[in-house]
Amino acid sequence: MNRRSRSTVLAVALAGTLALSACVKNSESSDDAIKVTSTADGCEVSAAKADSGTITFDVTNEGDKVTEFYLLDSDKLRIIGEVENIAPGTSRGLTVQAQPGDYFTECKPGMVGDGVGNAKFTVSGDDLAVDEDEQKAIDAAVASYTAYTKDQVAELVTNVDDFVAAYTSGDDDTARRLFPITRINYERIEPTAEQFGDLDPKIDYRKPGAEAENLPFTGFHRIEMDLWLDEAKTNYPDEKLSALDDTGRKELGEQLVTDIKALYDKVHSADFVLTIGDITNGSIGLLDEVAAPDGKLPGEEDEFSHTDLYDFYANVEGAKVAYDSVREIAAGKGAEGKQLVGDLDRQFAAMFALLETHGDYEQGFVSYDTVRQPQRNELGAQLNALSEPLSQLTHTVLGVSKS
């Protein structure tokens, strides 16, 4: 299972951990730099702790694939700083302004899939003064969230490979188990993926949506329909649905792998630019995905597998990461900002806590068709409680002057 998929976003202990102005310097190396050695399956860091302030990592690639190095926040999701495209045999530097807190380091040989050598990294010492220059803070937030998006898609590439491999080989049990897990990366960044209007319909359209737009029904939900065929026959009793043969499965699987690879290329291209508004609006957009009439809350997203709670949780995680990216900026906007951040911290924590009463990624979430209406109403009420303050975030970040 995907390690990062298992991790739980911590709703506390985030204050003061924002690292500002993460930047990459080429082949700059100094005696103070922390040495990082990336190999085929390891990520050795010469120190596990540092004092707050400027920290430089000097990353050397001793493996045989292009690699990356990350400094991750305590939730293991948000990227504080990263350095990409380190060719075999070369080294590059990463400099971050780090606040005290717990972080994680890891490398990613081959630049796709899960990272390796994940290790705890502790920063102690005094809090750094928050940068007065708001533009710098915004740039850092955008850099951090953009890196996060790329990382999620990179993980998605290998997770989809595994899922499709199980499906095309006829290992239905494994494919059914991997289906909701594989979707986690996608669901965390859904509004971003949906920017690519040609790809999302192929990857994530539901059957009624594809038919309404006269598109071939492909992607995750087409495979879902094949894997949970009995349920599909119940939902669409008027249609003659039959199991796909090996060729049909192969075509469907290859299509999904191709489309996900295309998504990877798009988010890793130089044209891929996100703004601070994309991030804050994307955050509320993720929750809208949950509440929509064909979304997770009504149980329409995964109408055959009933794995909607995985998607629900991942959407909220994605919204939380987007929020965390701009949290310090919002908190700096006077009393209004402080109040909003307080509300959002509390409501995100309550949302996760409520969702976790229904399971988690590791143990599995309960099948959503067993979640009765009063419990769904409770989820809906908490979703409203979170969405209302979150809808103020763009205004607070962009529309309120610092006081």
Partner 1 sequence: MTGGRLSRRSALGLIGAAGAVGVTGGFAAGAARDDDAEPQESVVPFHGKHQSGITTRVQQHLYFASFDMTSTATREDLKSLLADWTDAAARLTQGREVTTEGATGGGPYKPPDDTGEALGLEPNALTITFGFGPTLFAADRFGLEKKRPKELVELPSFAFELLEDRFSGGDLCIQACADDPQVAVHAIRNLSRIAFGRAQVRWTQLGYGRTSTTSKSQSTPRNLFGFKDGTANVFSNDDSDLATWVWADGSDQPWLAGGSFLVARKIQMLIESWDRVRLEEQEAIVGRDKGRGAPLSGGSEFTEPDFDVVSTAARGPAIPMDSHVRLAHPTQNGGARMLRRGYNYVEGNNDLGQLNAGLFFLAFVRSPEQFVGVQRSLAKDSLNEYIRHIGSAIFAVPGGIRAGESIGSGLF
Q: Which residues bind partner 1 (CB under 8 A)?
A: 339, 343, 347, 350, 377-378, 380-382, 384-389, 391-392, 394-396, 398-399
Per residue, what are the HEC states of 124-157? ECCCCCCCCCHHHHHHHHHHHHHHHHHHHHHHHH
Q: What is the dihedral angle through the alpha carbons of 344, 348, 349, 355, rounded to the nearest 10 degrees?
A: 160
Distance CA 62, CA 121 (A): 21
In whole angstroms, how large is the CA radius of gyration of the chain? 21
Distance CA 87, CA 65 (A): 7
Residue type, 75: D
Nearer to partner 1 by Cβ, of 305 and 382: the residue is 382
- Burial of residue 381 (number of CB atoms within 10 Å: 0-12, 13-18, 19+): exposed
Nearer to partner 1 by Cβ, of 261 and 376: the residue is 376
Least separation, in Å, of the C-beta of 343 and partner 1? Answer: 6
Least separation, in Å, of the C-beta of 376 and partner 1? Answer: 11
Nearer to partner 1 by Cβ, of 169 and 339: the residue is 339
Q: What is the dihedral angle through the alpha carbons of 134, 270, 188, 363, rounded to the nearest 10 degrees?
A: -120
Least separation, in Å, of the C-beta of 190 and partner 1? Answer: 20
CB 333 within 8 A of CB 403: yes
Task: From residue 196, give the alpha-carbon distance in Å to each of 258, 279, 302, 396.
Answer: 14, 16, 22, 28
Collect all residues with Cβ–Cβ distance below 8 Å to 370 and sequence separation of at least 6.
306
Least separation, in Å, of the C-beta of 286 and partner 1? Answer: 16
Nearer to partner 1 by Cβ, of 157 and 386: the residue is 386
Nearer to partner 1 by Cβ, of 109 and 295: the residue is 295
Least separation, in Å, of the C-beta of 322 and partner 1? Answer: 16
Distance CA 269, CA 84 (A): 13
CA 290 remoteness from chain centre: 15
Distance CA 3, CA 115 (A): 8
User: What tokens does 348 get?
Assistant: 């995100």
* Number of other CB atoms surrounding residue 176 within 10 Å: 17
CB 337 within 8 A of CB 331: yes
Least separation, in Å, of the C-beta of 349 and partner 1? Answer: 11
- Evaluated on CA atoms 295, 296, 298, 301, the torsion sign reads positive
Nearer to partner 1 by Cβ, of 51 and 378: the residue is 378
CB 168 within 8 A of CB 153: no
Distance CA 241, CA 270 (A): 43
Least separation, in Å, of the C-beta of 395 and partner 1? Answer: 3
Least separation, in Å, of the C-beta of 197 and partner 1? Answer: 25
Nearer to partner 1 by Cβ, of 260 and 351: the residue is 351
Nearer to partner 1 by Cβ, of 134 and 343: the residue is 343
Nearer to partner 1 by Cβ, of 160 and 279: the residue is 279
CA 91 remoteness from chain centre: 27
For residue 93, the cross-strand partners are: 25, 58
Nearer to partner 1 by Cβ, of 60 and 382: the residue is 382
Least separation, in Å, of the C-beta of 393 and partner 1? Answer: 9
Nearer to partner 1 by Cβ, of 318 and 389: the residue is 389
Least separation, in Å, of the C-beta of 386 and partner 1? Answer: 8
Least separation, in Å, of the C-beta of 373 and partner 1? Answer: 9
